[in-house]
Amino acid sequence: MLNFPASTHVNRLVPKTAFYKHLEMNTRLKMRLVEDVERIQWLYKLAPSTMNVDAGKVVHEIVVLRVTLKVEDMPDDAFLAIDRQMPRHVVFVLQYANRVRLLLNYKEWADADKTRFNILKTFRTEWMPLIDVKLELVGLTLDNIYEDFVGQISGFVTNNAADTKQILALQDEIARKRRGAEALQKRVRNERQFAKQMELNNEVRALKRDIANLDEELKNIGKQLRNKMYG
């Protein structure tokens, strides 16, 4: 499907029970897998043992799973539960009818013993015809390959963790300030004292200036990354 080297092909069906019997999942998530997922297929294994690439400092193996769905709008919570507990990095190829989308939970180890992950952000592509799905293998280590996958699926055009996390931090800061501005605007509407309304409006305007500056910074980073990638 993704035109990866033949040495990486696995093409093995994985029983859904392998996930909800061996991973911590509540009843709701188990039922999600039972009712919303038709089947799960292990497509590829990317590792030093299957291709000419070095293990990364963080990423030691990447598995690509195709999940055939019974419903198009299955929530991400089951994939989050799987990804937090699987001791490897995962790319999901979600298929519904004759359309697919790629989903990647960008994650980092939550503990020194490397038993669980924290999910930093979920990235997904739009739905597309099966023939159009692609994911390029770029990099000499699994760390490089994984970060490039993140850049391709997210649209950030990043290929290293520092750039990706900088963008995520800016997005989180923008979202936080927008929530703050909305809360202040609600207070303005409920405030009866004119002087207090003016004070709150000034705070809203300051937040909106901050948001505009952060948006511009985000655009500039994206432009720099595209220029670096494509020249």
Structure confidence by residue, pLDDT tens digits, 9-31:
999 999 988 887 778 888 888 88
The verdict on 42 and 96 lying in the same domain is: yes
Q: What is the number of domains present in the chain?
A: 2
Residues in the chain, total: 231
Listed residue (170, 201, 196, 206) closest to 185, CA to CA:
201
The verdict on 168 and 147 lying in the same domain is: no
The verdict on 187 and 151 lying in the same domain is: no
Residue 96 inside a domain? The answer is yes
Q: Which of 99, 134, 155 is the last residue of a domain?
A: 155
Structural contact between residues 107 and 89, judged by C-beta atoms closer than 8 angstroms: yes
Residue 78 inside a domain? The answer is yes
Torsion of CA 4, 5, 11, 14, to 10 degrees: -70
The verdict on 41 and 95 lying in the same domain is: yes
Main-chain phi, psi angles of 181, to 5 degrees: -65, -40
Mean predicted confidence (pLDDT) in 125-154: 94
Q: Would the pLDDT of 205 be above 90? A: yes
Q: What pLDDT score was predicted for residue 20?
A: 78
Q: What is the pTM of this model?
A: 0.88
Boundaries of domain holding 85: 6-155
Q: Would the pLDDT of 231 be above 70? A: no
Percent of the chain beyond pLDDT 70? 99
Main-chain phi, psi angles of 137, to 5 degrees: -90, 110
63 strand-pairing partners: 45, 90
The verdict on 55 and 104 lying in the same domain is: yes
Mean predicted confidence (pLDDT) in 102-123: 87
Q: Would the pLDDT of 54 be above 90? A: yes
Report pLDDT digits (tens) over 186-201. 999 999 999 999 999 9
The verdict on 139 and 170 lying in the same domain is: no
Q: What is the pLDDT confidence band of residue 108, given thresholds at 50, 70 and 90?
A: confident
The verdict on 149 and 212 lying in the same domain is: no
Please report the sign of the dihedral spanned by the C-alpha atoms of residue 164, residue 170, residue 174, residue 175. Answer: positive
The verdict on 39 and 146 lying in the same domain is: yes
